[in-house]
Structure 1
């Protein structure tokens, strides 16, 4: 929490969740509860969801619209700019008490990228776009289909899994390797022939993006078998997308693959799924998932994408169940004395990373642990580096 989550840019919400002043969404930054809102001037802000009197949450609802945030413990109330505006029994406080000194703690930096809102507690953090680096190019393949951007359809799915948050974040950054084995039955259900296309998946070619900040993305190139919603696929104007995004993105990360923005935000272009892995201790995570679609999508296409996401990567989805079972299995035996000390192999693709001139940054083979190695290298670097709050102390 102190060295990985506090200094990093963390995903908070989508801009489509905030249309008018007072719209809010409650979430977490690591283990810290925060509330994101649009203030009276239209600015998106994020505050620690904790009253300055005794520390209770000032917002108990998951989302909604409000004029102010009032703690239900003693009634301290705050406006949309985080200022303390009402204190019951105000006369009982000394003259040295100044409400201006006791506003909500505000997240110092909140920035958005193509509709995705991130925040960081680090007062001296680099800009979000610099933090993303070359990863932004891969994000654009899902977020920048047209000038209208993306919107959220449906609600936010939330579920709890036994497993460390890094298991999920690592897999989404680096692991196409598990697809053929773990998802064989799911692929069989989606296959027009009614059988798993194992050979086609095994021999797919593609690339895996490796980022020094711990981000990662993998994607097949010219996938022979498509498993996205057919209605969405038929609606896509691929010629226009080539003009906007270029051949490399359309033939690679546009519609398939997996990705993680370090530390705990991941997405799947194939079904418009974005998600955050909230850590709930060393052996438990809470998954929050949104479905996003192009704003220009007609209603029937949006509904097709929503249903496809529900069937595949929702809490009851045929792919999601497989992944959750794997992570829980890894976690369940990690407490053993011997198990905990056994080395694990991350050698796949070692030495294959290169700059190929087609994809930004360094990329490895599709089947590779390269992005996983970079993910843990970044985690190790942060764990061994005093954060800004430790340096100042």
Structure 2
């Protein structure tokens, strides 16, 4: 189910003035016994253990491609957006050459953030602690009381730490700390085909509407990421009341949801997506539905995408970026310790959409999967419930069952990659298989120079 990744590349040389940590400063835990993809079992300690969480930050988040922002958030030099890569705060900005740059949001002097605003436009990033100031290219350009430093002090060696690789796909910006990564497009693999069903409707691409919504949940980030990769199974039970609200007058959607046919895509890189095929009921914004030219989409994307992942479903790009095509919702699950996550959510729409259609999609997403949305509330309650009891001594030792659809993955001849039936844990098993693989693979920063 998973591929083997061999450590490669030398450790990044330390800049002048940098310190090296001893290799044994943090424990490296073998997680092989915690994830049984062949048997479909998972040890719930993966949601609760602090040492495992610290290892995730350095072996899962640091080497992976992580979603940062949408290109529509940057139009002129100095536009910036602050976010996180794991728990590392970063600044995404457009430099004077109109290149997207990403920097660690931490002053090289005493470590305070050099940008405390969420979003805006600036000429420089200046630390409010002692006034060190950095240009849009990350270079240190101003040091108060410069004469107080030794003659050998060189500002050129104390610029902001930059994320070494930043790439975009269909307007989505990703970055990785890995100095020698597999390219983003290669890392996405077949997942790109499923993403295009949401992001490649026309040549104009997508734009962001309505800003970014943020909220905090008590729950491990993997609970959310795995659900969006693999879990249509919960819809009937968890969202029954919400589906009743959205059902056409006089109709009950429950049976059609329960017995809905579809496919689930699972990938060795941990990505996953599930979607009904030929859905009879469409639970989307009717204004958007009526505006959409499905004939043109069939010509652009093909029948398989229009009759599947375009119309509904859920997906996760490993490790922590998820999206909902029918809502235009993209979101990131920021880890905030083993027991807490911070959810950041955007609404993206086709750039060609007229204003009234954009607004209909924004409101629909807000009412369904916004912070107080009728579906989002159900999901958050489930994740928090799982987390709330997982620290119990006996509870924490009882394995969880991920056996639905065991060994059912195959090439169905219509959708790229390996798929199973819609009701399956296949993508969940692949998600945790990839997590296990990375957790047991030394990252570039652990290699000897």
- Whether these two folds match at TM > 0.5 is yes
C-alpha contact (below 8 Å) 1:189/1:195 kept by paired residues:
no
Structure 1 counterpart of 2:249: 193
Structure 2-normalised TM-score? Answer: 0.87
Alignment map for 1:14-53 (pairs within 5 Å): 14-53=70-109
> Does 1:122 pair with 2:178?
yes
**2:346 alignment partner, one of 277, 290, 298:** 290
- Select the residue among 227, 237, 240 that pairs with 1:181: 237
| 1:243 paired to 2:299 | yes
Matched position secondary structure for 2:296:
helix
Residue 129 of structure 1 deviates from its aligned partner by 0.2
Which residue of 2 is the match for residue 150 of structure 1? 206
Which consecutive unaligned segments of at least 5 residues does structure 1 have? Answer: none
Rounded to whole Å, the distance in 2 between the matches of 1:51 and 1:380 is 34
Alignment map for 1:162-181 (pairs within 5 Å): 162-181=218-237
1:364 is matched with which residue? 420
- How far the C-alpha of 1:192 sits from its partner, in A, is 1.2
CA distance in 1, matches of 2:248, 2:412: 35
Name the CA distance, whole Å, in 1 between partners of 2:420 and 2:123. Answer: 50
Give the Å deviation of 1:196.
4.1
1:265-318 Cα shifts (integer Å, max 9, x gaps): 000001100000000000000000000000000000000000000100000100
Distance (whole Å) between structure 2 residues aligned to residue 90 and residue 122 of structure 1? 34
Deviation at 1:254, TM superposition (A): 0.6
How many residue pairs are counted as aligned between the two chains? 393
Determine which of 304, 312, 320 is the counterpart of 1:264: 320
Structure 2: distance between partners of 1:312 and 1:276? 17
1:225 aligns with 2:274: no
The aligned counterpart of 2:309 is: 253
Higher-RCO chain (CA-CA 8 Å, sequence separation at least 6): 2
SS in 2 for 1:207: strand
Distance in 2 between residues matched to 1:351 and 1:169, nearest whole Å: 22
TM-score normalised over the length of structure 1: 0.99
Aligned match of 1:374? 430
- 2-side partners of 1:192 and 1:131: how far apart? 41
Task: Give the structure 1 partner of residue 290 of structure 2.
Answer: 234
Moved more, 316-325 or 349-358: 349-358
Partner of 1:139: 195
* Cross-structure match for 1:333: 389
In the alignment, the residues of structure 2 paired with residue 87 and residue 194 of structure 1 have an alpha-carbon distance, to the nearest angstrom, of 70
Which of 62, 65, 72 is 2:118 aligned to?
Answer: 62
Determine whether 1:310 maps to 2:310: no
The partner residue of 2:162 within 96, 106, 109 is: 106
Hey, what's the Cα distance between the residues in 2 that align with 1:66 and 1:109? 23
CA distance in structure 2 between the aligned counterparts of 1:195 and 1:372, rounded to whole angstroms? 32
- Shift of the alpha carbon at 1:195? 5.7
Contact 1:185 1:196 in 2 (8 A): no
Structure-2 separation of matches of 1:73 and 1:351: 57
Deviations 1:63-90 (A, max 9, x none): 0000000000000000000000000000
Following TM superposition, the consecutive aligned residue runs of length 4 or more in structure 1 with deviations greater than 4 angstroms are: none
Q: Secondary structure at the match of 1:209?
A: strand
* Contact kept in structure 2, 1:184 and 1:196, CA below 8 Å: no
2: distance between equivalents of 1:23 and 1:196?
48
Aligned counterparts of 2:291 and 2:164: Cα–Cα separation in 1:
41
Per-residue CA deviations over 1:246-280 (Å, capped at 9, x if unaligned) read 00000000120000000000000011000000000
- Are 2:441 and 1:385 aligned? yes
Contact 1:273/1:309 (CA < 8 Å) preserved in 2?
yes
